[in-house]
Amino acid sequence: MAPTPSIWELREVTETGSTNTDLLQAAEAGEIAHRTVLRTDHQTAGRGRLDRRWDAPAGTNLLASMYLDMAPSKAVDAMHRVGLAVVEAVAELEPTDSTVGLKWPNDVLLHGTKLAGVLAQRSTTASGIVVGFGVNVGWAPPGAARVHDVDTSVTPAGLLQRVLVAFDALPDDISSAYRAGLQTLGRRVRVELPGSVNVFGEAVDVDANGRLVVRLDDGLMRVFDVGDVVHLRSAS
């Protein structure tokens, strides 16, 4: 029988390579159920997008992944849900929640700097989606934010509970919530593309597939499904 929506199967380990990799392997071995969450205190090979690294000293930050047994076409929706859940969980801590938001495609920003990253991965052999999230709680690298900047009482395990509750409280259709939380819209941006190509313009929309629509400086409208965005000054 499928678990009821409020049930998460929570697994915790002291150290591992990457919680995303672990859940992908478990999915491929048929060993996990929908809504399994793995949290660790330390990753020795934490992954970002495009094979970049995700760093955190042992015991300082929230490092977790969830396995969702849903169609691959839902991967973008699932990734957006996790980003929004982190935004909601952190906004609850702060009196001025407008300072927490998203940068396309799915970074969580606190006071304009990166607080959390989300990495969605699909197995080539198993069904379902793994969505990992790293939230800086007690430590952040230079130029990034951490939850302890606004609330020093938060623990990684406590924040995970808040994120899961916020995830379950999201509506079925999150498109308007995602757009409302996306601080990229209306901003002048630099989009850094693979191959060290940069383009400049105004981020005007997100389409139904989660792609960013940018009006480039030459007036051309272009959509991006990959790339790193840098927020420049406000476009207005």
Q: Does residue 134 bind ligand BT5 (CB under 6 A)?
A: yes
Q: Which residues on adjacent β-strands are paired with residue 197?
A: 193
Do the Cβ atoms of 174 and 88 come closer than 8 Å? no
> Which of 34, 42, 49, 222 touches ligand BT5 (CB under 6 A)?
49
Q: Does residue 114 bind ligand BT5 (CB under 6 A)?
A: yes
CA distance 105 to 219: 22
3-state secondary structure of 187: strand
Phi, psi angle pair for 76, to nearest 5°: -65, -40
How do strand 36-43 and strand 9-16 relate by DSSP bridges? Answer: parallel
3-state secondary structure of 147: helix
- Kindly state the number of chain residues that form the binding site for ligand BT5, as judged by CB under 6 A: 29
Closest Cα partner for 153 from 112, 101, 110, 94? Answer: 94
Span interacting with ligand BT5, options 43-51, 70-78, 166-174, 216-224, rule CB under 6 A: 43-51
- Name which of 16 and 187 has its Cβ closer to ligand BT5: 16
Task: Supply the minimum distance, in Å, between the C-beta of residue 180 and ligand BT5.
Answer: 21
Q: Does residue 149 bind ligand BT5 (CB under 6 A)?
A: no
- Name which of 65 and 185 has its Cβ closer to ligand BT5: 65
List contacts with ligand BT5 (CB under 6 A).
Answer: 18-20, 43, 46-50, 52-56, 63-65, 107, 114, 117-119, 132-134, 136, 140-141, 144
